[in-house]
Structure 1
C-alpha cells in the first residue's frame, strides 16, 4: 500500500511508491520504486517537495479479514511510538505521549472485542515498533477478558508498549529468557516510574516463567506480576507469527499450540485459558482443509473454540452440521 509521509519523517532506505514530480508538475524527480538515499531527500527538500508517497508492505495474518486495528491507525501509532522510543532513550520523553498511544489502542480493541478477531500486522518497516503495538493489542484483549477496569487496562497497555524499549535486535528465540533487556528497559524507565509501579514491574519481569525458571529473579506462579504474565503470552504469540524476525514464522495455529503446550511451564494457565477462549484453537487466519475436502481460512471464533471458516465466498459455521476441520494447512 502507499502512505503519504511528511518529508521530514522520511528515512533513507524507504521505497518511493509513485513517481515524484517537481512542484511544477512536469519533471519527474524520482521514479516509482526508488530506494531513497540521503541525497534524494536533500534534492526533494531543495525542490520544495513536502509530502512523499512511500510504499509500505502490509502483511496481515489474513488478507480476507478486517484488521484488529485499522492500518492507518497502526501506521500513526508506529510513527509516534518510534519518535517516543528515541526520546525515552535520550531521557527527554513526557510519559503522557505513551499514555495517549495506549488509550488509542484500548479504544480500538474495545470496538472490536466482541467480534473475537485477532488479525495483526506481521511485517512492517519498523519491526520492533510493530511488535510492541501487537503485544499491547493482545495484552489489552487479555486485560478485558480478565475484567480489568479502565485504569488497569491503561497501565497494562503502557507496560506492553514499553516492554522491549531496550531491545536492539530482531529475535525469534522465545526460549532465551536470560536476555538482559528487561533489566536494561526497567533501568531506562526508572526515572518515570517508582520501583514498585505496576508498569515498571511488568517490563522488568516479562521474561519470568510460571514454573520459576525465568529471568531476572526466578519468580514463580502468582509471585510474577500479573502484567508480566499477560505480556509473556502476548509477546511470544506475536514473535512466533511475525515475518519480520529471523527464522521461519509459525502459523497462528502453531503459535497457539506452542502456548497451550507450555501452559503451567512458561505461562500462567489462567491467562492461556482466556487467550484460547478468545482466539479458539484455530485462530484468525489459520488455513484449513475441511472434512468435505474444501479449503478455507478461519475468520473468527463462533462458539466456544469452534471457528467460522470462509470457503470461497461462503461462511461455514463448524458448530452447525457435521463438517469439521480435517487438517491445518501451513501457509
Structure 2
C-alpha cells in the first residue's frame, strides 16, 4: 500500500509508490518503484516537493487475532491487580481477590487451551499488571501441558500474578538475574503465605537458573521448585516481547528462539519442550514470507509444530497447500 510522508521524515532506502512530478510542471522527477537515495531526497526538496508517496508492504499484526484473554476481562484484571500491588506495598493483601483473579485466568485458558493460540497484550498503560496477567496465562498453559490439576494450577497462577510485586517500575530483567526483587517480594508476602508454601518458594526462586548460576541460592536442575522453573520461562517470554519495558522488544519468534537456545542453561529442557510444543517455533503473531511469495501472519499451531497462516484474508494449512515458510519478517 502507499502512505504519504512528509519529505522531512523520508529516509534513504524507502521505495517511491507513484511517479513524483515537479510541482510547477509535468516533469517526472522520480519514477514509481525507485529506491530513494540521499541525493534524490535533496533534489526533491530543492524542487519544492513537500510530501512523497512511499510504498510499504501491508504487514499484518497480532492485533488481527483475538487475544487469549478477552479485553473486558483483561481490563478488569489490570485495574484490580494495579490496586493489589499498591496494597502489598502498604503491607496488606486481599488473598481471596488474588485467588479469584487466578481462577478467572485459569478458566479462560482452559476454555481456549486446545486452540493453541497464545496472543498476549504487549503494551498498555499498566505494564506491571499486564506482565502479571501474561505471566499467569503462559504459566497456566505450561501447567496444563504438565497435567496439573485445578488446585495446583491455581497456586501456580497466583505465584505468577505476584512474582514481580516488589518491582517499582517495568524492568527488562531477563539477563540481570541478580536483581533482589525476588527476596523483597517474598518478604512482602510472607505474612500472607506460609514460608514453605509453593507460592512463596516459586517467587523466591524464579530467577534461579537450571545450570546453577542463578539467584538467590544458585539452585540447580530439579532442586529448583517446579513452579519457579515454569515461572522463569513465562516471565522471560513476556519480558522479552514487552513493548512497554525499557530496551528493544523481541518478536514472539525471537523470544522463542532465545528460550530454546537457553534450554539447559537458564531453563528446564523438559518445560521448554512443553512450552514450544504449545506455541510452536513460529508463535501466534509471527509475520512470515511464504514460498509462494505471499506474506502472512501465524494464527496458531496445528499438528506438531506446523503453523496455520493467514495470508491475503485466507487461512492456509501450509502442509496441505504444499508451501513452506521461507523466512520470518521481523
- What TM-score bracket applies, with the shorter chain setting the length? 0.7 to 0.9
Aligned to 1:183: 183
Question: What is the TM-score normalised by the length of structure 1?
Answer: 0.81
Aligned to 1:257: 257
State the Cα distance separating 1:61 from its structure 2 match. 6.6
Say whether residues 1:328 and 2:315 are aligned partners. Answer: no
Contact 1:303 1:319 in 2 (8 A): no
Aligned to 2:157: 157
Q: Structure 1 runs of 4+ off > 3 angstroms?
A: none
State the Cα distance separating 1:148 from its structure 2 match. 0.2
Instruction: State the secondary structure of the residue aligned to 2:78.
Output: helix
Q: 1-side partners of 2:130 and 2:207: how far apart?
A: 19
State the Cα distance separating 1:319 from its structure 2 match. 2.6
Compared CA separation, residues 322 and 287, structure 1 to 2 (3 A): same
Aligned to 2:286: 286
Aligned to 1:36: none
State the Cα distance separating 1:171 from its structure 2 match. 1.8
Q: 1-side partners of 2:143 and 2:61: how far apart?
A: 22
- Uncovered stretches (5+) of structure 1, i.e. residues with no partner: 1-59
| Counterparts of residues 65-84 of structure 1 (less than 5 Å) | 65-84=65-84
Aligned to 2:224: 224
Aligned to 1:167: 167
Provide the aligned C-alpha RMSD in A.
Answer: 1.1
Contact 1:211 1:265 in 2 (8 A): yes
State the Cα distance separating 1:94 from its structure 2 match. 2.3
Q: 2-side partners of 1:93 and 1:265: how far apart?
A: 35
Say whether residues 1:130 and 2:113 are aligned partners. Answer: no
- Uncovered stretches (5+) of structure 2, i.e. residues with no partner: 1-59
| Counterparts of residues 1-331 of structure 1 (less than 5 Å) | 62-330=62-330
Instruction: State the secondary structure of the residue aligned to 1:319.
Output: coil
Contact 2:183 2:204 in 1 (8 A): yes
Aligned to 1:54: none
Contact 1:61 1:119 in 2 (8 A): no
Q: 1-side partners of 2:212 and 2:269: how far apart?
A: 14
State the Cα distance separating 1:168 from its structure 2 match. 1.3
Q: 1-side partners of 2:227 and 2:109: how far apart?
A: 17
Q: 1-side partners of 2:248 and 2:94: how far apart?
A: 38
State the Cα distance separating 1:87 from its structure 2 match. 1.2
Contact 2:294 2:311 in 1 (8 A): yes
Contact 2:287 2:328 in 1 (8 A): yes
State the Cα distance separating 1:216 from its structure 2 match. 0.2
Q: 2-side partners of 1:318 and 1:303: how far apart?
A: 11
Question: Quick check: which has more Rg, 1 or 2?
Answer: 2
State the Cα distance separating 1:322 from its structure 2 match. 2.2
Q: 1-side partners of 2:212 and 2:255: how far apart?
A: 22
Q: 1-side partners of 2:230 and 2:238: how far apart?
A: 13
Instruction: State the secondary structure of the residue aligned to 2:62.
Output: coil
Count, aligned residues: 271
State the Cα distance separating 1:175 from its structure 2 match. 1.0
Instruction: State the secondary structure of the residue aligned to 1:309.
Output: strand
Instruction: State the secondary structure of the residue aligned to 1:184.
Output: helix
Deviation string 1:201-224 (CA, Å, 9 cap, x unpaired) is 010000000000000000000000
Contact 1:237 1:255 in 2 (8 A): yes
Instruction: State the secondary structure of the residue aligned to 1:303.
Output: coil
State the Cα distance separating 1:84 from its structure 2 match. 1.2
Contact 1:206 1:228 in 2 (8 A): yes
Q: 1-side partners of 2:126 and 2:173: how far apart?
A: 19
Q: 1-side partners of 2:87 and 2:114: how far apart?
A: 36
